[in-house]
């Protein structure tokens, strides 16, 4: 795969999955726009910062934008993460986040591929069944799995899914579009507001 193909896939990932104003939100959840950022508040597991890009912000203006987010969440004592990807600009953004009190945790990987290159008949292992999720009991099982995986209380995921499913344009069953990415992010903890920055590296197939 050429570097141009990788760049195109990365651009599709950012366009489809990042910085999109959501549809209906779960109860008690709200989104606030601050320049290029979307600030999500009120999830049981905390809030997060989302954006497609920072619109060329740099230097003191970027530092002030970061500090505004810390102040906004600190005012309510709400934990949050800053979702940072490895290709985000400016290149010194991770340093600026650390200077504001964030500490990056383990880096995970974003895996991107054209659907046609990887589509195949699913072959789940013995004992695993693939089916559409429709019941509240299923949603609670998803929430329990998320809580176990991330080692924190994400039980509110069931309400989130039942109320509308996602801040991305998809149903609760998670339909895929022409090109999608499975994205993992690292986590970090802010010493005063339990904030997090997230970083991802890109791997394309």
pLDDT tens for each residue of 1-36 = 788 888 999 999 999 999 998 777 777 889 999 999
Using a pLDDT cut of 90, give the percent of the chain over it.
44
- Domain carrying residue 152: 3-204
pTM: 0.69
Q: Strand, coil or helix: what is 187?
A: coil
What are the tens digits of pLDDT across the range 139-165? 999 989 988 987 877 777 888 788 765
> Which of 122, 131, 160 shows the shortest CA–CA distance to 40?
160
Compute the half-sphere exposure of residue 115: CA atoms within 13 Å on the CB side of its CA.
Answer: 9
Query: Which spans in the chain are helix H?
Result: 3-17, 59-75, 93-99, 115-118, 136-150, 157-163
CB 163, CB 173: distance < 8 Å: no
What are the tens digits of pLDDT across the range 51-76? 999 999 999 999 999 999 999 999 99
Specify the pLDDT at position 164.
64
Name the DSSP letter for residue 52: S
Q: For the chain, how many structural domains are there in total?
A: 1
């Amino acid at each position: 795969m050429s570097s141009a193909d990788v760049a195109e896939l990365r651009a599709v990932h950012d366009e489809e999955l990042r910085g999109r104003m959501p549809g209906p939100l779960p109860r008690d959840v709200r989104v606030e726009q601050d320049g290029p950022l979307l600030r999500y508040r009120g999830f049981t597991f905390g809030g997060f910062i989302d954006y497609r890009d920072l619109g060329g912000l740099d230097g003191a203006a970027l530092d002030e934008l970061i500090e505004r987010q810390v102040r906004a969440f600190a005012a309510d004592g709400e934990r949050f993460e800053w979702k940072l990807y490895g290709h985000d600009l400016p290149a010194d953004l991770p340093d600026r986040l650390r200077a504001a009190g964030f500490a990056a945790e383990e880096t995970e990987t974003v895996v991107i591929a054209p659907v046609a290159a990887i589509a195949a008949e699913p072959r789940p292992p013995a004992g695993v069944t693939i089916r559409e999720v429709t019941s509240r009991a299923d949603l609670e099982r998803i929430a329990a799995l998320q809580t176990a995986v991330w080692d924190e209380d994400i039980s509110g995921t069931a309400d989130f899914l039942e109320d509308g499913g996602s801040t991305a344009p998809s149903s609760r069953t998670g339909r895929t579009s022409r090109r999608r990415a499975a994205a993992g992010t690292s986590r970090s903890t802010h010493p005063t507001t339990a904030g997090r920055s997230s970083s991802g590296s890109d791997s394309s197939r």
